[in-house]
Copies of this chain bind each other. A is one copy, B any other.
Amino acid sequence: MRVSRSFLPVLKESPTDAQIVSHKLMLRAGLVRQTAAGIYAWLPIGFRVLKKIEQIVREEQDRASAIELLMPTLQSADLWRQSGRYDAYGPEMLRIKDRHEREMLYGPTNEEMITSLFRDEVKSYRDLPRTLYHIQWKFRDEVRPRFGVMRGREFLMKDAYSFDLDEAGARQSYYTQLLAYLRTFQRMGIRAVPMKAASGPIGGDLSHEFIVLAPTGESEVFYDASFEEFDWHQDELRYGDAEGLRGLFDKVSSTYAATDETHDEARWAEVPADRQRQGRGIEVGHIFYFGTKYSASLGLKVSGADGSMVTPEMGSYGIGVSRLVGAIIEASHDDNGIIWPEAVAPWKVGLVTMRGDDAASVTAADDIYAKLTAAGVETLYDDRDERGGVKLGSMDLIGLPWQLIIGPRGLAAGVVELKNRRTGEREELSIDSALERLTA
């Protein structure tokens, strides 16, 4: 993408209405703009990050054999009356009347709808187990939306729902999503620690939150350093391996991790002092096993292998896709701007000419841009006739993993500069070596 032909508005001043660093940086780097309280438009950079995160979530759900579909944003109130939640849900639910005065709502979550869809199509134990998911915009009418996309009103969520014949099956579905979540966050280049959670308004007795560690996080967290060392992609652990999944769950359960709400001083004291980690964190996912709460109230039954009718056991599994954009920035930034983990970066490389009015620089950069693009390397090319310092400042702010800097002096000596945004390391090397490095 050439900056000269794009729509990447960068702010020089730090916005005064933003209280937390991710919100400030998302405004300054041109990721989002607020269009109404707690509602945001995603400008090109923010949109690209959102799509990368969404795609990682999708791929890991697919790998875990969850089946994607797409439910609508608006739902009928009648559906929620069947579960009893229409009246129970507070003013966070956006209630709507259509032109015929029919009561509707903008879905804050989809337990009722998925249960009713599943109920109408399945008849037999042979149709289970299944985990279905979608990635769709939700709305929660927060009384004081704030912190940008971290506590917005319209937000993008992945929500999955599992249907099993018995508790043992439901637990395996739960463990499967647990593993999928650990792998999902690890792929994004962030550390998310699973913490046993109180079950909250959805109900149920088995629940974990996933907390991204970030110094500016909303909750205080306590965890065993082991969580910094686990590799959730380890080959030996496969979906479908019931014993391995239970082992994973036992490992997660027996390794201390808690928010200030669930913190247990006695168990904490048992963690060796040199392994105690204390910090702050941001919730980015939440998984629940809640048994037959919705299947029973919405009349979902299937015939079992012995002919008797079975009410399936369910769980639900959420990831805050749009919230993750903010959470990752909270976890990964410095004074100069965002530092994207490569897996979610809007582009891998920022290509900058220090002198947009120098013909040799422009020729060299055009050629490098063509080669990187042809090699499939996502590149943002700042080809504007702007001062080099301004362009480098923008690149630091936007936070792409690599900057490739073309200056007249270096070019005369046959070199360009490659900068690693995270470490700040700069290296002079030939154009060919730089291309080789970036396309490797």
Chain A, 41-99, CB within 8 A of any chain B CB: 41-44, 46-47, 50, 65, 67-76, 79, 91-92, 94, 96, 98-99
Contact between A96 and B98 (Cβ–Cβ < 8 Å)? no
**Looking at the complex, which one of B33, B36, B69, B99 makes contact with A42 (CB distance below 8 Å)?**
B69
**Looking at the complex, which one of B41, B67, B143 makes contact with A69 (CB distance below 8 Å)?**
B41
**Looking at the complex, which one of B67, B98, B113, B153 makes contact with A6 (CB distance below 8 Å)?**
B67
**Looking at the complex, which one of B39, B91, B118 makes contact with A72 (CB distance below 8 Å)?**
B39
Interface of A is mostly: mixed
Task: State in angstroms the CA–CA spacing of A92 and B7 once bound together.
Answer: 32
Query: What residues of B have a CB within 8 angstroms of the CB of A132 in the complex?
Result: 7
Q: Known contacts being A7-B132, A73-B154, A132-B7, is A67 close to B39, with CB within 8 Å?
A: no
Q: Does A294 contact B (CB under 8 A)?
A: no
Contact between B36 and A104 (Cβ–Cβ < 8 Å)? yes
Query: What residues of B have a CB within 8 angstroms of the CB of A73 in the complex?
Result: 73, 137, 154
Query: What residues of B have a CB within 8 angstroms of the CB of A256 in the complex?
Result: none
Q: Does A217 contact B (CB under 8 A)?
A: no
Contact between A35 and B72 (Cβ–Cβ < 8 Å)? yes
Contact between B154 and A74 (Cβ–Cβ < 8 Å)? yes
Contact between B141 and A7 (Cβ–Cβ < 8 Å)? no
Contact between A36 and B74 (Cβ–Cβ < 8 Å)? yes
Q: Work out how many copies of this chain go into the complex.
A: 2
Chain A, 281-327, CB within 8 A of any chain B CB: none
Q: Does A370 contact B (CB under 8 A)?
A: no
Contact between B99 and A143 (Cβ–Cβ < 8 Å)? yes
Q: Does A130 contact B (CB under 8 A)?
A: yes
**Looking at the complex, which one of B35, B43, B130, B141 makes contact with A98 (CB distance below 8 Å)?**
B141
Q: Known contacts being A35-B76, A117-B35, A121-B7, is A70 close to B98, with CB within 8 Å?
A: no
Query: What residues of B have a CB within 8 angstroms of the CB of A125 in the complex?
Result: none
Contact between B94 and A69 (Cβ–Cβ < 8 Å)? no
Task: State in angstroms the CA–CA spacing of A98 and B93 once bound together.
Answer: 9
Q: Known contacts being A94-B96, A154-B74, is A113 close to B35, with CB within 8 Å?
A: yes
Query: What residues of B have a CB within 8 angstroms of the CB of A39 in the complex?
Result: 72, 74
Q: Known contacts being A69-B43, A91-B99, A99-B143, is A120 close to B74, with CB within 8 Å?
A: no
How far is the CB of A45 from the nearest CB of chain B, in Å? Answer: 9
Query: What residues of B have a CB within 8 angstroms of the CB of A35 in the complex?
Result: 71-72, 75-76, 79, 113, 116-117
Query: What residues of B have a CB within 8 angstroms of the CB of A75 in the complex?
Result: 35-36
**Looking at the complex, which one of B33, B92, B104, B106 makes contact with A120 (CB distance below 8 Å)?**
B33
How far is the CB of A91 from the nearest CB of chain B, in Å? Answer: 5
Contact between A41 and B117 (Cβ–Cβ < 8 Å)? yes
Chain A, 4-27, CB within 8 A of any chain B CB: 5-7, 9
How far is the CB of A3 from the nearest CB of chain B, in Å? Answer: 11
Query: What residues of B have a CB within 8 angstroms of the CB of A92 in the complex?
Result: 99
**Looking at the complex, which one of B9, B36, B71 makes contact with A41 (CB distance below 8 Å)?**
B71
Task: State in angstroms the CA–CA spacing of A40 and B113 once bound together.
Answer: 11
Closest to A155 in B: B72
How far is the CB of A51 from the nearest CB of chain B, in Å? Answer: 9
Task: State in angstroms the CA–CA spacing of A113 and B30 once bound together.
Answer: 16
Q: Does A402 contact B (CB under 8 A)?
A: no
By Cβ-Cβ distance, the 8 closest A-B pairs, closest first, are: A9-B121, A42-B70, A36-B76, A91-B99, A41-B71, A99-B141, A39-B72, A72-B154
A and B contact pairs by CB, cutoff 8 A, 21 listed? A5-B130, A7-B118, A7-B130, A9-B121, A9-B122, A33-B117, A35-B72, A35-B76, A35-B116, A36-B75, A36-B102, A36-B104, A39-B74, A41-B70, A44-B67, A72-B154, A73-B154, A91-B99, A92-B99, A94-B96, A99-B143
Given contacts A5-B130, A47-B70, A74-B153, could you give 12 more A-B pairs where the C-beta distance is less than 8 Å? A7-B118, A9-B122, A35-B71, A36-B102, A41-B71, A41-B72, A42-B69, A42-B70, A43-B117, A74-B106, A94-B99, A137-B137
